[in-house]
Homo-oligomer: A and B are copies of this chain.
């Protein structure tokens, strides 16, 4: 089945600090025209960081968009042209103070492809070196070491409300990484 949409015209209708918004006119598979409205986002990384084979780092922070505090794995936006692995090491250091020894890509996915181009690159970090990272004094978050088993209990009880963190924890549980 032919599903692709052809872009006939596109226009940037909002240019922000973090993302832009684009409106487009497309040719639908049935030949008719349709409208699309999307967020253009630079992408982000998130890091499943192990302090020992059974314990990972979670950060708690207030998310303005959500209006509440959430438990998440360390994460951050890509700078223009930045290599995702370099970004993962930088964000881990800035948020937790730990520098990764070894980084491996676990998954990459769209956070919400119905309206946003954001791709998330999920890394796994091992061999952390405490204190060697440059922690950012201007981020307001609480860092905790949590056993994977505990984190998966939180998932089972519906207490983890961040998509990338759910994916990382469920992949870790499935692959028996811990």
Contact = CB atoms under 8 A, between A and B. Distances in A.
Interface of A: 1, 3-5, 7, 13-14, 16-19, 21, 23-24, 26, 28-30, 35-39, 41, 44, 60-67, 69-70, 72, 75, 77, 107-118, 120, 138, 140-142, 158, 160-164, 166-167, 170-171, 173-174
A63 B142 contact: no
Given A62-B4, A77-B114, A111-B112, A174 B163 contact: no
Contacts of A65: 36, 38-39, 110, 113-117
B113 A66 contact: yes
Most buried by B among A30, A109, A120: A109
B109 A160 contact: yes
A110 B63 CA distance: 10
A3 B116 contact: no
Counted per complex, copies of this chain come to: 2
A114 B158 contact: no
Nearest to A2: B140
A120 to B, nearest CB: 7
A64 B111 contact: no
